Amino acid sequence: MSTRFIALLICSFMPASLALANVVEHVGWQQAFEKYDAVGTIVVLDQRGKYGSNQQKEWVYNLERASQRFSPASTFKIPHSLFALDAQLVKDEFQVFKWDGVKRSFAPHNQDQNLRSAMRNSAVWVYDIFAKQLGEQKARQYLTQINYGNADPRMDSQVAENSSYWIDGNLAISAFEQIEFLKALYRNQLPFTLDAQLLVKDIMITEAKTDWILRAKTGWQGKYGWWVGWIEWPTGPVFFALNIDTPNRLQDLYKRQAITREILKSIEALPAS
């Protein structure tokens, strides 16, 4: 495993709370990106306590990009679900949102949804309802409370009226900041009820075996895509945040999980088979 330690200064455009002095640049992970012909970054924080007196290890591939902010796209459904629950726009995971009848390109969107299916299917139209009901001022308040990226839910006047601020608007977050947000959610330390945080973590479950659980969410802005989340082990969690360019659009989307899974397997954060 090829690695090199680097002392990192806090980037001028990142919150001062994100001190990166102990991050390890893992240049060997470049092979996974090259294998899938992808340009991007990944941050992995392993808190399984495997490293002696240092109980965690944080790696990054492509430090510069990991420090840059991008639209969160559908990874924003994680905090957005918390906002909706807190504001009582949705009562629980069973509340039904009636399909508006608008035919969308992804068939699973063209049906009634609840909170669980809206997360699983990435049904943007459900979250557009939440955004309209919350309004910009309340959204900004929530974003500021959880220190989420630049906490800016504004839309550019030149963007189409029916666009979503977490896809085509000003809201942006870095891979490092994604990790910080996920850590707080994992620890139930966000300014929301425990029940709300537990519910959102439950609907994030992507895969589970007897001794580990994978909770994650994909995102796609069009030009780039995300996969963020964590794997829970009895000894602790392993957090990850991947961001890649998607010049071939839909054809590139599988690479988000393929690259991440390969890297996580290399540190035994996911089983090899």
How far is C-alpha 226 from the chain's CA centre?
7
Distance CA 130, CA 118 (A): 12
Catalytic site positions:
74
